[in-house]
Amino acid sequence: MIRNSGLSLSKKYRPDLLIFLVLIPLISAFNYYLTYSNIQWNGFLVLTFAIDTTQGYLAWLIVRWIILRLDQSLPFGPKPAKRILLQLLLTTFSGLSFIILTTELVSWIAKGRPAVLEFYTMDVFIIGVWFLVINGIYIGLYYYHTLQEIQSQQPKIQPVFSGFAVKMGNQNLLIPGADAAALRIEDEYVLLISLAGKKYFLDESLDYWEKELPEADFFRLNRQTIVHRQILLGFKKSDHGKLEAQVDSKINVELKLGISRAKAPSFRAWFMPSR
């Protein structure tokens, strides 16, 4: 359920701070473009633009505060219509009220009279639309991060390993993973060693196979060797925190079985996952 989302309030809407630090001045500039047909570039324009942009930032912070409070008292939940409607009403009313009050205050201080009628007939409508846009951005960010969290909690499906494709003379063979004992580097080549003791040359590197092989079955002991779990009997301690894997004596092939101190904990966890 979305209501029990593990997302913290500070992460639900990222990167809203960066978005609106950039967007608010752009909104102010666009409002000027829609409102005024003859814009004169002078000090007065810079001053009024700065005031309007500051109003925009403060109104946005009010909207953000209301949204975060609603997240605590009325989360979106599986049926978010009530929450979204209440959020739209509260944020738009509060934001517009703040813009109207501060505009009237600035007008009385600067001009000694109330704001012009066009402010109420045009500007307020345009600003109201922008509050709907701001809400849309927050709602979109919320569901985007919620979807990401749900996806991150879903178990990753490991691709099915079909086996090792090898060539023997003019034959192309597929050696099942269950028939593999180990992979090792010999000179510049990678050898696949089967449980029956047969050896096959592989074209890909050991680094490649380390990524491709099922983690539950195969482990890379060191730079030279990857082993299948089925041939391992256990391990013993070596010098300086190192380990040495022990394999079935039936595997009559020389393998580098040393495990470095750095890799020893991950090998222990892999070999004995329940401990």
Per-residue pLDDT band for 4 (boundaries 50, 70, 90) equals very low
What pLDDT, on the 0 to 100 scale, is given for residue 3? 43
In the numeric block, the tokens 């990524």 are attached to 211
What pLDDT, on the 0 to 100 scale, is given for residue 269? 92
Domains defined along the chain, listed by start? 2-153 (no CATH), 164-271 (2.40.50.40)
Per-residue pLDDT band for 152 (boundaries 50, 70, 90) equals confident
Distance CA 33, CA 29 (A): 6
Per-residue pLDDT band for 2 (boundaries 50, 70, 90) equals very low
pTM: 0.56
What pLDDT, on the 0 to 100 scale, is given for residue 272? 87
Q: How far is CA 160 from CA 163, 173, 202, 251, in A?
A: 9, 18, 19, 26
Task: Say if residue 99 is exposed, middle or buried (CB neighbours under 10 Å; 0-12, 13-18, 19+).
Answer: buried
Instruction: Give pLDDT tens digits for 162-178.
Output: 899 998 888 899 999 99
Residue with the larger pLDDT of the pair 10 and 47: 47
Query: Does residue 1 carry a pLDDT above 50?
Result: no
Residues 197-214 have a mean pLDDT of 93
Instruction: Give pLDDT tens digits for 40-87.
Output: 667 767 888 888 899 999 999 999 999 999 999 999 888 899 999 999
Q: What are phi and psi of 114, to 5 degrees?
A: -70, 170
Residues 182-206 have a mean pLDDT of 92
Residues 212-234 have a mean pLDDT of 94
Residues 126-141 have a mean pLDDT of 92
Per-residue pLDDT band for 33 (boundaries 50, 70, 90) equals confident
What pLDDT, on the 0 to 100 scale, is given for residue 160? 80
Task: Say if residue 220 is exposed, middle or buried (CB neighbours under 10 Å; 0-12, 13-18, 19+).
Answer: buried
Q: How far is CA 92 from CA 96, 148, 183, in A?
A: 6, 28, 65
Residue type at 255? L
What is the 3 state secondary structure string of the chain? CHHHCCCCHHHHCCCHHHHHHHHHHHHHHHHHHHHCCCCCCCHHHHHHHHHHHHHHHHHHHHHHHHHHHHHHHCCCCCCCHHHHHHHHHHHHHHHHHHHHHHHHHHHHHHHCCCCCHHHHHHHHHHHHHHHHHHHHHHHHHHHHHHHHHHHHHCCCCCCCCCCEEEEECCEEEEECHHHEEEEEEECCEEEEEECCCCEEEECCCHHHHHHHCCCCCEEECCCCEEEEHHHEEEEEECHHHCEEEEECCCCCCCCCCEECCCCHHHHHHHHCCCC
In the numeric block, the tokens 């409070």 are attached to 69
Q: What are phi and psi of 234, to 5 degrees?
A: 170, -155
Distance CA 30, CA 46 (A): 14
Task: Tokens for 72, please give them.
Answer: 């605590």
Distance CA 104, CA 116 (A): 9
Query: Does residue 226 carry a pLDDT above 70?
Result: yes
Query: Does residue 5 carry a pLDDT above 70?
Result: no
Query: Does residue 156 carry a pLDDT above 90?
Result: no
